[in-house]
Amino acid sequence: MVRSFARLDVFVANGASLGARQPVIKYPLDVWRQTFQINVHANLQLLQGLDPLLRKSDAGRVIFLSAAVATNAKVGTGSYAASKAALEAVARIYGIEGKGTPIKINTVSPGATRTEMRARAAPDEDPMTLKTPDDIAPLFVELALPSCQRHDEWIGADDWLKTRTR
């Protein structure tokens, strides 16, 4: 990819897998590893490969997608919660390391959003009560803009939406 493109302006680290809904003590380690492989290692590997292109941009932007359970774990969220917490740590470290460069790194926690993954995670929830991806898409656009100066921040999409509706 580095040979094909002169630069990369935006990378959204959104690889995610729910894993199994099991108590941690009974969690199948192969599923735990697979969840971490997708949610942390794949995103990290992409970041490592894309970093040289991001550094060539005048305004490289990296947006990591996390989840509320990374800091507010719930029963049955085992590897998903732990892997999202690990991804947040990767984002924070990369943010610190990127200070002083044109790259701006931020983490978004979308909150309960009407997606297929949310339907699998909360099958008893009425999806029509949830915001849609289109509702929070402007946040991602804002963070991707060259004019955005936010850096090394954790942004809850629900809080962001509240500020937009005032």
H/E/C letters for each residue in the chain? CCCCCCCCCEEEECCCCCCCCCCHHHCCHHHHHHHHHHHHHHHHHHHHHHHHHHHHCCCCEEEEECCHHHCCCCCCCHHHHHHHHHHHHHHHHHHHHCCCCCCEEEEEECCCECCHHHHHHCCCCCHHHCECHHHHHHHHHHHHCCCCCCCCEEEEHHHHHHHHCC
Q: What is the pLDDT of residues 103-162, one digit of tens each?
A: 999 999 987 666 777 667 667 877 777 778 889 899 999 999 999 999 999 999 889 988
Which of 80, 94, 140, 160 is an active site residue? 80
All domains of the chain, ordered by start, with CATH? 10-164 (3.40.50.720)
Confidence (pTM): 0.90
Among this protein's residues, is 27 annotated catalytic?
Answer: no
pLDDT average, residue stretch 77-99: 95
pLDDT, averaged across the chain:
90
